[in-house]
Amino acid sequence: AAGGSGLTPQIYNKLLRYGVNLITLGDHTYRKRDIIKTLETTENIVRPANLSEHAAGRGVAFYTTTKGPTVAVVALIGRLFMKGADCPYNAIDRILPQLESKAEVIIVDFHAEATSEKIAMGYHLDGRASLCFGTHTHVVTADERILPKGTAYITDIGMTGAHDSVLGRSVENVLKSFRTQMPFPFEIATGDVKMNTILVTVDSNTKKAEGIRRIRIDAETKEATGYDSDDGKPEYLNNNF
Contacts of 59 (CB under 8 A, 6+ apart): 46, 47, 48, 49, 50, 51, 74, 75, 76, 91, 95
Catalytic residue, candidates 28, 136, 138, 163: 28
Whether 138 sits among the annotated catalytic residues: the reply is: no
Distance CA 78, CA 122 (A): 13
Residue 9 amino acid letter: P
Beta bridge partners of 111: 77, 135
Rounded to the nearest 5°, which phi and psi values hold at 180?
-110, -15
The phi and psi torsions of 213 (rounded to 5 degrees) equal -140, 135
Distance of CA 189 to the CA centre of its chain: 20
Closest among 216, 214, 86, 96 to 155, alpha carbons compared? 214
Chain mean position to CA 100: 23
Distances (CA, A) of 238 to 10, 155, 201, 224: 25, 27, 41, 21
Dihedral sign, Cα of residue 76, residue 79, residue 80, residue 82: positive
Q: Which residues are catalytic?
A: 28
